[in-house]
Structure 1
């Protein structure tokens, strides 16, 4: 009987099956296909790079033993990674990596065939017809570390940003994912990192782009049949900054192409910086393989600034604008506008405008008028404390009872509703919601949200609870 790739691999599988858990075998070995056998080298095809990485990390020893039994001590295993090809390119993407040479992985490029006859690299940021491949960073120089003031709410993210700016691609913060609610400075910090890198390393190619624009460029590249040029363009970037990465939710084609770009950049020591309005664990409709990569580096949260930080931000803004303002007025504004930095600065700009246009002195009364109007006209972000109060009042219990460990049905349901509305109406992470509602973990919050969804569709009385609370919380 002749020895084929399939027969060798079948024998290897028999050995592996006897030595690992059935579920692990089903997940990690059943999808693999034997491709070819050349001398003592067996090529196998795996569905993704994530698959390859998992096998190398968790099953390399058993693979080596199984293959050595079949082909002897000089046996080699070559991975062929077939990357999903959904847009009609004639050839699949493949990458060949010998298992016996793990160091080769870092330097290995994804082999992407070029369909275009014109070998000139297309730059999606320039007008077609202009022969210019210079890549502008798209950074805003006004966003710097100097005017990104440090406080307890942002210390980790700011420190990580400084470390990345000093050594892009050379720290363990790769990717660096900065997440938090609206107006807390995610975009500012992302730009500040890029600006600092450009100052320190002018030879590096730094590019800032919103996830929305990245998606649009990708769609255009598919329409024009130059998807490969699009990928090649992003693969030459040294520092890629993508803002609002949650925008990729549900866009499987864009996620797929970003996955391959991310892999290439990461393997070649390039830096990736991402911003998002939520933590990876809370992102919906983002492929698991991408989420796993987001967690490789550091996820740093920007929280609402405390009172002292708000005062510092206002003083810094006034100093930069050359405006003087009494201390009590600065403190009044800082005390009454707490949600985010954008609203805080907006209020102080409105106050200065009112004073100059109406030729009025900046007094505490004028500050009260402006702040009152500003808060009224600004969409209020419901707090978790407020949600707990509304839910507790509705069910005629106090907040301590709502947060207690009791398993009484009506209290459990009230607690689950509070978690459900906190997830729906705030930007807080699941972990943050859980810790504020009775010191629960994020899995409890996730379970609560699913339970509320199920009961709303099956229980008439429970549906009324949801409708009543929605009205009270002005959803």
Structure 2
């Protein structure tokens, strides 16, 4: 075996850093080398010091944490007396004016950035979003991120059931940024689109371009429906790395999910922690006052004239997701157009009959999620606060599951709305329904309790639809 040779700096080629890069190129994956080593330039070489520069301070911190020891080890293998490594930030070049006279400033050598977004609904803007207690925090956080206001932080995890407005808010951010700051490098896509694009790049052996697009070419990342990444280990790993860099670099990130973070199954814990490192908030089903405001606003934009009694009818009975309200107003608009008249009470009732349950007298049923919750609380001697708590005691969890089961069976409440009644998400509601259904089939005691409660619910007096 030949002895290992140690070279002094004077015996090495003039550019020591280029030699180190060649060593690292053989030690690292191509995509990793292209992203983190190749952009580094040598500023100064002496026998005592090797000064290398990174594109920005966040890039510099990343390299220091993950590659400095590897760089130092490479130097030691090349010279017996390796110089100290000094990481600095490259001096920013002077910006130059766009040749097309648009007035947009751009760094030399950079191509004009075109925002990467999925299709945007023209009506999904902040101006068209009705604010209430159920969505106040979510709306404020999204507006702050759109305006680059750090009041709510730079990272947001937004969760809600379907049809409650999380896509509206996310697209409102995109609309606002593209209007007010078109130079922002914005990427807006679904988690499924992210995954599909990543798979395509893996097949085409172009992962360095894929990662670089988000890491080095993104100021604002909007990804919807991250719950669909459950079980997709490779995609989670790639997105986790991207989020790690963007969040540490102070970039803005918004993630949305139909499932609360703690209930995400098939998700790596490090990925879960990274996604929720900023503000986590949700959108609940709108309360009566917000539903009424939404109805008035959407009716006005549809040129529908609705009286206060009509608005009350609709807001009282169209609970849950907002799409039911939109469906009702669409039906009213169609009927009013056919009859060449403005909606009246009979027309409103007729539309509601297709969306909510009524008794034989044509009156809306009083039975709702709150009524069932109160009955369960009374019969099992468990307070409402206990049903809303995080307690997993059998004396609390069992009545809670019964309440969810009965609400799903005897009302028109959505899964998300049922979950909000018990401070849970829709996946917990689904589990409760399955558990109670199984127990009814297997345990006579549970079946008898449910039948007794059902009888009591049947004695509820229906309230007039007015």
Given the two structures, how large is their TM-score scaled by the length of structure 1? 0.59
Q: Is the 8 A contact 1:198 1:204 kept in 2?
A: yes
Determine if the alignment matches structure 1 residue 427 to structure 2 residue 416: yes
Identify the match of residue 176 of structure 1 among 143, 156, 165: 156
Inter-partner Cα distance in structure 2 for 1:314 and 1:411: 40
Inter-partner Cα distance in structure 2 for 1:465 and 1:174: 50
1:199-278 matches, within 5 Å, as 199-235=179-215, 236-278=217-259
**Per-residue deviation, 1:258:** 0.5
What are the superposed Cα offsets for residues 84-121 of structure 1, whole Å, 9 maximum, x if unpaired?
xxxx967877979xxxxxx9656445799xxxxxxxxx
After superposition, the Cα gap between the structure-2 partners of 1:321 and 1:163, relative to the gap in structure 1 and judged at 3 Å, is same
Determine if the alignment matches structure 1 residue 414 to structure 2 residue 398: yes
5+ unaligned residues in a row in structure 1: which ranges? 1-87, 97-102, 113-130, 437-441
Inter-partner Cα distance in structure 2 for 1:255 and 1:294: 10
Inter-partner Cα distance in structure 1 for 2:146 and 2:178: 9
Q: Is the 8 A contact 1:402 1:415 kept in 2?
A: no
Identify the match of residue 188 of structure 1 among 150, 168, 173: 168
Q: Is the 8 A contact 2:368 2:407 kept in 1?
A: no
Q: Is the 8 A contact 1:238 1:270 kept in 2?
A: yes
Tell me the C-alpha RMSD between the 2 structures.
4.5
**Per-residue deviation, 1:223:** 2.0
Inter-partner Cα distance in structure 1 for 2:113 and 2:232: 28
**Per-residue deviation, 1:154:** 0.7
**Per-residue deviation, 1:399:** 4.5
Structure 2 residue aligned with 1:353: 334
**Per-residue deviation, 1:320:** 2.0
After superposition, the Cα gap between the structure-2 partners of 1:228 and 1:398, relative to the gap in structure 1 and judged at 3 Å, is same
What are the superposed Cα offsets for residues 387-408 of structure 1, whole Å, 9 maximum, x if unpaired?
758978xxxx814358798x9x
Inter-partner Cα distance in structure 2 for 1:281 and 1:383: 28
Q: Is the 8 A contact 1:175 1:271 kept in 2?
A: yes
Structure 1 residue aligned with 2:347: 366
1:255-404 matches, within 5 Å, as 255-359=236-340, 361-375=342-356, 385=370, 398-401=379-382
Q: Is the 8 A contact 2:58 2:249 kept in 1?
A: no
After superposition, the Cα gap between the structure-2 partners of 1:89 and 1:428, relative to the gap in structure 1 and judged at 3 Å, is farther
5+ unaligned residues in a row in structure 2: which ranges? 1-27, 38-55, 68-110, 359-366, 409-413, 455-466
**Secondary structure at the counterpart of residue 250 of structure 1:** coil
Q: Is the 8 A contact 1:310 1:334 kept in 2?
A: yes
Q: Is the 8 A contact 1:176 1:297 kept in 2?
A: yes
After superposition, the Cα gap between the structure-2 partners of 1:389 and 1:141, relative to the gap in structure 1 and judged at 3 Å, is same
Determine if the alignment matches structure 1 residue 461 to structure 2 residue 450: no
After superposition, the Cα gap between the structure-2 partners of 1:375 and 1:132, relative to the gap in structure 1 and judged at 3 Å, is farther
**Secondary structure at the counterpart of residue 351 of structure 1:** helix
Q: Is the 8 A contact 2:332 2:348 kept in 1?
A: yes
Inter-partner Cα distance in structure 2 for 1:106 and 1:463: 63
**Secondary structure at the counterpart of residue 247 of structure 1:** helix
What are the superposed Cα offsets for residues 392-444 of structure 1, whole Å, 9 maximum, x if unpaired?
8xxxx814358798x9x9856733643885999833798x67658xxxxx9xx
Q: Is the 8 A contact 1:175 1:272 kept in 2?
A: yes
Q: Larger Cα Rg: Structure 1 or Structure 2?
A: 2
